[in-house]
Structure 1
Amino acid sequence: MPNTAKSDSLRSTQQAGAAFLPIHDVLVDIRSAINQQSQLIIEAPTGAGKSTALPLAMLSWPEINGKILMLEPRRVATRNVAQFIAKQLGQPVGQDVGYRVRGDTNISQQTRLEIVTEGILTRMIQHDPELTGVAVIIFDEIHERHLPTDLGLALALEVQQSLRDDLTIIAMSATLSGLSLSNVMPDARQINSQGRSFEVQHQYLPCPSQQPWLVHMARVINDTVNDASLAEYQLGSVLAFLPGKGEINKLARLLNERLDSSWLICPLYGDLPPAEQDRAIGLTEPGKRKIVLATNVAESSLTIEGITIVIDSGYRREASFNPKTGVTRLGLKRISQASAVQRSGRAGRLAPGYCVRLWSQEEHGRLRKVDEPEISLSELTSMALDCANWGAKSFSELSLLTPPPAIHEQVAWQLLQQLALTDPQRKLTSLGHEAYALGCHPRLAHMLLKAKHLAHAESQPQLCVLACVLAGIIEARGLPKKGADIHHYLGEALHGQIKQQVRQWQQSLGVSGSVQNAISQASTRDVSYLLALAYPDRIAKARGQDGFLLSNGTGVVIAADDSLAHEPWLVVADFQETQGRNAGQVYLAARFDDRLFNDELKALVTQQVQGGWDEVKGRFFAEKQTKIGQIIIKTETGIAPERAQITAALLEQVRVKGLTILNRDDALIQLQYRVELARFYAPEHNWPCLTDAHLLASLSDWLGPYIEQVNSLAALAKVDTYGLVKNSLSWQQQTLLEQLVPTHWLMATGTRAPITYQMPLDENGHFYHSDAEQGRALLSVRLQEALGMAQSPSILQGKMIVTMALLSPAQRPLAVTADLASFWQGPYVEVKKEMRGRYPRHLWPDDPVNTVATKFTKKKTPGL
C-alpha cells in the first residue's frame, strides 16, 4: 500500500503550486508584444502554464477588446482546459470561459474566452471571414501539426493580412524544433518561457523477442509499482502510453488480473464519455492510486493530476493515406524522439519522476527526431473542399507550414470533381456550396444531397432519412461488432449520439420522416444506391477466392464467415489497409444490386474499345468493354482494331517486354551511356535523360509518332531506334556530345581508335543513374600506336580520364590502364620482354614516351 501521508502531501504541493508557473515570468513581455504587433510566437515547455495561466491572465488585460479564441488539438484537452480556467475564476463553464467541440457547445453571450477544437476555427472563418468580435486567436500545441491546425493558421493569417490587421495571432508550442513558423510569420515576435518540471529518471526495458509486448508492458507496470527501490517515485499515480483503444482495453484486463483493488485502472482516449475522461484526469481519493492507460491525447495540453511514473510503449497508431487506393492505411509506428520527451515529461510535473521506455537506448537514438505533420500523411478531400469554399484553387495559394504531397492534393480535387462538388476549374458548384454547409465528409454530403433531391423530385422522403441513417453509422465511432453488413447496424440510429446526428441532418436537409420507418423499409437496392452515391469508386465485384475488386482497381477481402463473403457484388463504405497485407480488409459494406447500372447509376458506366496483342495467336485484337471504373462488366469481341489501338498495343508490348524487342543495338546503348556521362559531368547543357526507365516512360513521345505504318512485332524490331533516340538531342547537343564524349580518339598515326563506354548495371541490366561517376571510357588501340603519349587521354574537358586497352599486333589485350605514365615506367618493361620474342618485327622501344607512334612493322617504319 502507498504511504498515504506522503501522497496527501504531494496533492497539497500540487494544489499550492498551481499559482506559480514559469509563464508568469514572461506575461509582461507577452502583454507588451501584443500591444506592439499582431503576431507572436511563444515557446514554452511542458509545465510552463501557457495553456491555462496565459489565457487566464489575458482575460484581465483591458487592451484586448474582443473575444479570445484558443485552439486545442483534442476534444479531451478542450473541455479540460476550459473547466480548469473557469474554476480559477470561480465560475461554471459557459460564462466568461466556454468551449466548443463538434457536437458539444458550452458558451453564452458573456463568454470572452472560447476554447475550441481546431476544425471549429476553420468553420468560423469560412462563415465570417472578418471574425467579428474576435480580438485574439491562440494556436496552442501547434507543434503537434494536426491538419486542421495547419489549415486554420493559414486562413487566419490571410484574414489578418487582407481584412483584419487588428487581429492578433499567437502560435504556442512546447518546442519550435522542426517547425517552420518563421516562414509564414516572418515578422512575429518570439518569446521563450521556461518549463516547470523535475528531473525524470529513464529506464530502458525492451520487450523480449518471444513475448507479446502488451504482456511485457503489464509485467513492467506491475514490477514498477511494487519495486521497493522505487519508493520515492511511488507517491503519485502511473500514466501508461499506448497506441489505441484496443491495446488500452487489453492491457486493462491484464492489469486487473495482477493488481489489487487499491488501484484504479482508468482508460483515456478520445471516444471515452466525458465522465470517464474526468475520472482519468482528476485527482484520486485519498488512499487510492490510479493507472491511466492513455493514447497520445495525454502527450501535451492535457494535465493529468498526480502522475509521477510514466510507462511508455513507444508506439503510436499512424494513419497514412494511400493515393492509389483512396483509403487511409493504419500502421503501428514507433514514436519520435520529440514525442518520447513529451511523454516522459509527464512524470516530472510535481516531483522527481520515473519513466520506463519499452525499447532499447540504442533504438532510441535511431528514432526520427519529430513526427511527420498530418498534412503529409492524410487524405485531403475535406481540406480541398475548404480550399474551394475559400476561393483558392490550389493549396499553394495558402500560407501552409508544410506543402502536402502533390499526388494527395491531386486525388482530393479529382474526387471532388467526380462528386460534382467542384467544376474542372476547381470552383464550387451549387451542390458543392450545399455540401460544405452540411459540415461532413464530402462523400457523405454528396449522398445526403442527392437523396434530398430524390425526396423532393420523386416523393421519396424515406430515402433521404435512410441516407441520414447511413451517414450517421459511417461517421460513428465504437460501433458494436456485428459483421460487415451495414444492414446489421441500422438500428443503432434509434438511440444515442447517432440518433442525435441523424436528427441534425434531417433538420439541415429540411426533410421529415420516421427513422424507424425508413429503417424497416430499407431495401438492398436503396442502401446500395445511396452508398454508391458516396463511394462510386468502391463498388466491388467478386473475384473468386481472391476477395473483391473495387472499381478503383484495389483488391479487398472480407472475413470468410461474414454474411457478405459470397455475394457477387458489394459497395464498400469502410475498409482499411494494414501493414503486411496485400489487400484491404472490409469492415462496412452492403450487397449491391447491379441492376442499378441500367438505370440510377448508368452515368458511372463507360464503354471503350480496347486493343492489344494476342500472344497465343500472334496478332492484334480489339474488344468492346463495358466497365465501371476498373471492373469489366461485359466484353464484346470480334471488332477490327483501329490504327490508334494497334499503335497503343505496340507501345504496351515495349513497356511490358522492355527495349530489347526494339532494334536496341550497341550504338544506341553507347549513346545512352555517353549522354548519361554528359548529364553528370556537364549538366549545364541541359541534356535529355535517355535512361531505359525514361525511354520506357516516354515511348509515346519519341517512338509513337514513327510507328504508324508498323503492323507487327517483326516490323517493330526493324525501326531505326538509334536514330529516333539520337534525335532527342538538338543538332548543337549532338555536336557538343561528340566533342565532350567522343566515340573515337584520333591517334598520332591517324587511326580513329574506338572508345567504348561502360556503366554499372543493376540486377535487371539497367544502369544506375546515380552511379554515372562510376562509368568508364575504354579506348582500344595497338600499343605501338600509343608510343609517344606521356599521359592517358581525357574527355569531358579533363573531368574523366580515358582507360586504355593496349593491344598486341594481333589485337590481343596486353594491358589495361588509366595511368599511361605509370604503365610506361613499370608494367611495360615486362610486356616488352615477352612481346619482343613473340613479335620481333614490331617496335618495342626502351624509351616509349620519346618514340614516334607507328602502325607499321619496323621494316615499314621510316628511320628504322
Structure 2
Amino acid sequence: MTSLPIQAVLNSLRVQFADHSQIILEAPTGAGKSTALPLAMLAWPEITGKILMLEPRRVAARNVAQFIAKQLGQAAGQQVGYRVRGESKVSADTRLEIVTEGILTRMIQQDPELSGIDVIIFDEIHERHLTTDLGLALALEVQQSLRDDLRIIAMSATLSGLPLDTLMPNAAQIHSDGRSFAVEIAYQPCPSQQMWLTHMSRVILDTITSIELAAYQQGSVLAFLPGKGEIRKLAGLLRELLDASWLICPMYGDLSSAEQDQAIRAAEPGKRKIVLATNVAESSLTIEGITLVIDSGYRREASFNPKTGVTRLGLKRISQASAIQRSGRAGRLAAGYCVRLWSQEEQGRMRKVDEPEITQAELTSMALDCANWGAKSFAELSLLTPPPAIHEQVAWGLLQQLELIDSQRKLTPLGRDAYALGCHPRLAHMLLKAKQLAQDDNQPQLCLLACVLAGIIEARGLPKKGADIHHYLTEALQGQIKQQVRQWQQSLAISGQINEAIRNASTRDISYLLALAYPDRIAKARGHEGFLLSNGTGVVISADDSLAHEPWLVVADFQETQGRNAGQVYLAARLDERLFTAELTSLVTTHVHAGWDEAKGRFFAEKHTKIGEIIIKVDTGITPERAHITAALLAQIRIKGLTILNRDELLIQLQYRVELARHFDPEHDWPCLSDEFLLASLEDWLGPHLDNIRSLAALAKVDAYGLVKNLLNWQQQQRLEQLVPTHWPMATGTRAPIRYQMPLDADGHFYHNHDQQGRALLSVRLQEALGMAQSPTILHGKMTVTMELLSPAQRPLAATADLASFWQGPYIDVKKEMRGRYPRHLWPDDPVNTVATKFTKKKTPGV
C-alpha cells in the first residue's frame, strides 16, 4: 500500500483539507484512491468523526471494505465496515463505512445534519450512476445549508466530460498518477455479429494457447460481456473447449457473496481462471491475477421510454472511456494484453464517454426522494446533469396518480409512509393500500399477499414458469425473496403465515393488488395483436402462455427490446372484470365522445366508459349537446386541416404577411398565424363563433379571414399595412396588387434562411412601371419587391427584383418583340425617363 501512486499526493491533499471543504481528486486506475486514501485518512487526527465512502456498485463496496479492513488486521465490521442493500457489516467502532445503492441518500434524508460524519467520499464518480448524482446533490446542499464543516471529496479516474468544476467551483483540484503496466491492444472484429459469442470463445481459446502470447499467459483472463445471459452462454461454450485446469467464474450483480468472492480472489495453485464479467469489473473492483482481457465491446444499456413508462433494454457499444478502463485491467500487476472484438476504425467512431444514467433512467423513485427532501423539481438540486424534462414530468405524474404527492408536488401522508418502506413507489403504494385494507376489513392475508407479490416483482433471476405470477408465489417461501417478504411484513406490522396467504390467494385478490401498483398497465386483449395497456401501449405475450387468451390482464413486468414494435410481457395476472364496478371504480372514467359520421352526414355522440385509454363500454344513441357539436367540429378541422374552413387566398396572404413581419420586425409582438398555431388554438379564436354552426357546409361559410385578422390588435393591423402592404400605389393611380410567397419545409411550416426569405410579387403592366428607376422596397427597405411586368393583355413578360438592370438589358429584347405585337402601346427607348401611362399612345398626352 505504501508504494501506490496516491501516496505522493496525500500530504498535499491533507494540506488542502484544512482550507477547503470540497476536493476534486483525479486518480487513474491503480493509483490506490479507493483503498490507500481512506486507509490513510483513518490516521489523520483532524478527522474525529466517521468517513463515508460511496461506491457505485455493491460488489466493489464489499470488496473494498474487506480489503481495507485486512490491511488493519481486522475483519469487516470493526473499524472498517460496509452497508449495501440486503447486507450490512458495521458496529459502534466503525469509522470508515463504505455504502452504496442509495444508502447515502437515505442517511441524508433521515438525518440532514449527518451527525457524527466528518467526510463523504464519492468514488468512481465518472460512472455517473443515478444514485451517485443524487447523493452528491443532497450532500452539497447539506454542506451549504447545515454543515459548513462537512468535507466532500469527489474522486474520478478521469475528469473528461465531467462538469465537477461547474458544480464545485471553489473545490481544490488534485491530480494523482496511476499505476499500470503497458497493455498491448489487438483488434479482432467478429465476421458476423450474429455469432459474436462463438467468435469470442474462439478468441479466448486462441489467446490462452498461442505461443506468441506466452509472456502474458502467466495470469488469468477477464472477459467483459453485456449481461448475465451472455455470460452463461459463453461459460457453456468455454467448458466444452477447456479442461479442468481452468476455472470459469461468472461475475455479475445477482450472484451470491461467495460466488463473487470466488471470481475476485486469485486462482488456487495449479489452476487458471477465466472471469466472465459485466461492466461491474470496469473500475474500483480489483480481480487478482489478471493479465489478459477479452472485451466484447458491448454493454446492456437501459433507456426509459416516457411514452410507455417502461425501460427498454438494448445492446449498445461501450464508449471509448469504458474501453480504456477495461483494457487497463490487464495491466494492474504486470504487462498485459487486451483483445477488442471490434475494428480499430470503429474504436475511433465510438462515443467518448457513456451517457449519464440520469438522462436514460426512469425517475419515479428519484422524484419521491425529491418530494421527501422538499424539492418540487429536479432543478432545485445541484445535479451534474439535468434529466430530460419529459422523464421528470412522467415521474411526477405517476407519483400523483399513486396519491404519493398532491397537485403541488408535496408529499402526502401516504407518500411519507411509502418513502419509509424503501421500495419502488409502485410497490409501496400497493403494500400500504393492502395494509389499510387489512386494518379496515380485517384481511391480514391480503397484506401478506401484497408482500409476496412485491417480493416476486423485485426478485432477480426467477425460474422460467411463464408469465402468470401465480406460478411464482411459492418462490416467496425460500431464499432472498422470503427474507425480503419478512422484512416488509415486519415494517407493516402485519401478522400471519406467508404460506397460508399463498394457499388462499385468489385471482381477484392478486389482480386487484397488482392494479394498485400498476393502474396504467391494465390490459385488454385485442385479437391476434396481443393486448392494449391502459396507458395506450401495445404488448404481446408468448402464444403458448397460459395467459395468452385471457380477455383482461394486469401486467407487472414487461420489457421493450430493440427491433420489436410491442413490449414482451414477463409477469402478469388474470384480471377479474368485476373489479371495475367494485374495488377499482376509482380508475374508471366516463365521458361523451362526439364526432362527425361521414356516411350518414351528421353529428353523433357516444358515452365511453374507460380505464385509461381502454374503452370498456360504449353507449350510443345520445343526443349531441352544443358543446359536443363544437368539439366535433374542431376535431374535424384538426383532422382535415384549415381547408375545411373558408380559407381563401386573402387569409393565406395574411398569414404570409404576418410571418414576414415576425421575421423582419421582431421587436414588435407579432402573433404567430401559422397553420400549426391556428390548429392548436382553435378553441380560442374559432370556438366562440361556432354556436350556430351545425354542419360542415355551414362551417365552410365562416369568415375565417376576419376571425384570424382579429388576432391582431388595431395598432398591429395598421403597422402591417405599412410594413407589408397588399397593394402598391403606382404613378398612374393604379393600386397594383402584391402577392406574397413563403418557403415551407417538408411539414408545411414556415422557415427562413439567408437564401430563402420569401418574396413579394407586384404585378403591373409594363407601361405603368415606366419612370421607375428602382424596384420598390417594403419592411423599411429590408425586402425588395419583385416586379412582375405584364403585357397590355395582362400576360407576364418578365419578373425582376432589380428594375434598373432590367431596363438596361432584358427590356431591349422585350421592346423589340412587343412593338410589333402591340404597336398602339408605348415601348419607349428611354423607359426610366418616360412618364408612366395606363393608356395607348393615342390617349397618352405628348406622344
Q: TM-score, normalised by structure 2?
A: 0.95
Aligned in 2, Cα 1:690/1:265: closer, same or farther, shift over 3 Å?
A: farther
* TM-fit CA distance, 1:657: 1.5
* TM-fit CA distance, 1:849: 4.1
Aligned in 2, Cα 1:698/1:230: closer, same or farther, shift over 3 Å?
A: farther
Q: Does 1:774 align with 2:756?
A: yes
Give the distance between the partners of 1:827 and 1:861, measured in 2 at CA. 25
Secondary structure at the residue paired with 1:138?
strand
Q: Does 1:414 align with 2:397?
A: yes
Which is further off, 144-153 or 472-481? Answer: 144-153
**1:404 maps to what in 2?**
387
Q: Does 1:707 align with 2:690?
A: yes
Aligned in 2, Cα 1:272/1:717: closer, same or farther, shift over 3 Å?
A: same
Aligned in 2, Cα 1:409/1:767: closer, same or farther, shift over 3 Å?
A: closer
Give the distance between the partners of 1:787 and 1:221, measured in 2 at CA. 87
* TM-fit CA distance, 1:355: 3.3
Which is further off, 176-185 or 220-229? Answer: 220-229
Secondary structure at the residue paired with 1:677?
helix
The letter of the residue matching 1:597 is F
**1:583 maps to what in 2?**
566
Give the distance between the partners of 1:250 and 1:90, measured in 2 at CA. 40
**2:277 maps to what in 1?**
294
Give the distance between the partners of 1:677 and 1:293, measured in 2 at CA. 63
Which is further off, 40-49 or 790-799? Answer: 790-799
Give the distance between the partners of 2:767 and 2:222, measured in 1 at CA. 83
Which is further off, 632-641 or 678-687? Answer: 678-687
The letter of the residue matching 2:293 is V
Asked whether the 8 Å contact 1:776–1:803 carries over to 2, the reply is no
Asked whether the 8 Å contact 1:321–1:327 carries over to 2, the reply is yes
Which is further off, 631-640 or 735-744? Answer: 735-744
Secondary structure at the residue paired with 1:176?
coil
* TM-fit CA distance, 1:714: 1.2
Aligned in 2, Cα 1:747/1:108: closer, same or farther, shift over 3 Å?
A: same
**1:696 maps to what in 2?**
679
Give the distance between the partners of 1:154 and 1:461, measured in 2 at CA. 40
Aligned sequence identity (%): 80
List, as ranges, runs of 4+ consecutive aligned residues in structure 1 with deviation greater than 6 Å: none
**1:668 maps to what in 2?**
651
Asked whether the 8 Å contact 1:118–1:152 carries over to 2, the reply is no
Give the distance between the partners of 1:227 and 1:792, measured in 2 at CA. 82
Secondary structure at the residue paired with 2:667?
helix
Q: Does 1:359 align with 2:359?
A: no
The letter of the residue matching 2:237 is L
**1:10 maps to what in 2?**
none
Asked whether the 8 Å contact 2:58–2:101 carries over to 1, the reply is no
Q: Does 1:172 align with 2:155?
A: yes
The letter of the residue matching 1:774 is Q
Give the distance between the partners of 1:679 and 1:360, measured in 2 at CA. 51
Give the distance between the partners of 2:790 and 2:250, measured in 1 at CA. 81
Asked whether the 8 Å contact 2:743–2:751 carries over to 1, the reply is no
Indicate which of 312, 315, 320 corresponds to 2:303: 320
**2:4 maps to what in 1?**
21
* TM-fit CA distance, 1:109: 0.9
Q: Does 1:813 align with 2:813?
A: no
Aligned in 2, Cα 1:205/1:771: closer, same or farther, shift over 3 Å?
A: farther
* TM-fit CA distance, 1:503: 0.7
The letter of the residue matching 1:277 is Q
**2:140 maps to what in 1?**
157
* TM-fit CA distance, 1:791: 4.0
Q: How many residues of Structure 1 are paired with residues of Structure 2 in the alignment? A: 846
Asked whether the 8 Å contact 1:528–1:590 carries over to 2, the reply is yes
Aligned in 2, Cα 1:164/1:618: closer, same or farther, shift over 3 Å?
A: same
Alignment of 1:361-510 (within 5 A): 361-510=344-493
* TM-fit CA distance, 1:851: 4.1
**1:242 maps to what in 2?**
225
Secondary structure at the residue paired with 2:102?
helix
Deviations 1:787-819 (A, max 9, x none): 444444443344434333333232222233344
Asked whether the 8 Å contact 2:226–2:278 carries over to 1, the reply is yes
The letter of the residue matching 2:363 is L
Aligned in 2, Cα 1:341/1:846: closer, same or farther, shift over 3 Å?
A: farther
Indicate which of 11, 14, 24 corresponds to 1:31: 14
Asked whether the 8 Å contact 1:310–1:344 carries over to 2, the reply is yes
Deviations 1:827-863 (A, max 9, x none): 3333333333323333334444444444333444444
**1:795 maps to what in 2?**
778
Indicate which of 17, 22, 26 corresponds to 1:43: 26
Deviations 1:461-492 (A, max 9, x none): 11111111110000000101100000000010
Aligned in 2, Cα 1:818/1:288: closer, same or farther, shift over 3 Å?
A: farther
Secondary structure at the residue paired with 1:774?
coil
Indicate which of 35, 49, 57 corresponds to 1:52: 35
**2:287 maps to what in 1?**
304
Aligned in 2, Cα 1:818/1:223: closer, same or farther, shift over 3 Å?
A: farther
Alignment of 1:652-667 (within 5 A): 652-667=635-650
Aligned in 2, Cα 1:844/1:308: closer, same or farther, shift over 3 Å?
A: farther
Aligned in 2, Cα 1:428/1:230: closer, same or farther, shift over 3 Å?
A: same
Give the distance between the partners of 2:409 and 2:672, measured in 1 at CA. 34
Aligned in 2, Cα 1:854/1:278: closer, same or farther, shift over 3 Å?
A: farther
Asked whether the 8 Å contact 1:75–1:117 carries over to 2, the reply is yes
Q: Does 1:622 align with 2:605?
A: yes
Aligned in 2, Cα 1:790/1:118: closer, same or farther, shift over 3 Å?
A: farther
Q: Does 1:611 align with 2:565?
A: no
Indicate which of 520, 523, 532 corresponds to 2:503: 520
The letter of the residue matching 2:661 is A
Deviations 1:114-155 (A, max 9, x none): 111040011111111111110001111112221111211111
Q: Does 1:112 align with 2:95?
A: yes
* TM-fit CA distance, 1:210: 6.8
Q: Does 1:537 align with 2:486?
A: no
Deviations 1:365-388 (A, max 9, x none): 333333222222222211121112
Aligned in 2, Cα 1:206/1:805: closer, same or farther, shift over 3 Å?
A: farther
Which is further off, 485-494 or 354-363? Answer: 354-363
The letter of the residue matching 1:272 is L
Give the distance between the partners of 1:802 and 1:115, measured in 2 at CA. 74
Asked whether the 8 Å contact 1:670–1:757 carries over to 2, the reply is yes
Indicate which of 704, 712, 718 corresponds to 1:729: 712
Q: Does 1:346 align with 2:325?
A: no
* TM-fit CA distance, 1:75: 0.7
The letter of the residue matching 1:85 is I
Aligned in 2, Cα 1:36/1:460: closer, same or farther, shift over 3 Å?
A: same
The letter of the residue matching 1:142 is I
Asked whether the 8 Å contact 1:308–1:352 carries over to 2, the reply is yes
* TM-fit CA distance, 1:650: 0.9
* TM-fit CA distance, 1:62: 0.8
Deviations 1:73-98 (A, max 9, x none): 11111111112211222221111111
Asked whether the 8 Å contact 1:100–1:117 carries over to 2, the reply is yes
**2:54 maps to what in 1?**
71
Which is further off, 508-517 or 659-668? Answer: 659-668
Aligned in 2, Cα 1:767/1:811: closer, same or farther, shift over 3 Å?
A: farther
**2:312 maps to what in 1?**
329
Asked whether the 8 Å contact 2:312–2:560 carries over to 1, the reply is yes
Asked whether the 8 Å contact 1:759–1:767 carries over to 2, the reply is no
The letter of the residue matching 1:624 is K
Which is further off, 31-40 or 393-402? Answer: 393-402
* TM-fit CA distance, 1:441: 0.8
Give the distance between the partners of 2:506 and 2:617, measured in 1 at CA. 26
Which is further off, 134-143 or 726-735? Answer: 726-735
Indicate which of 772, 776, 783 corresponds to 2:766: 783
Which is further off, 800-809 or 509-518? Answer: 800-809
Deviations 1:49-79 (A, max 9, x none): 2211211111111111210001111111111
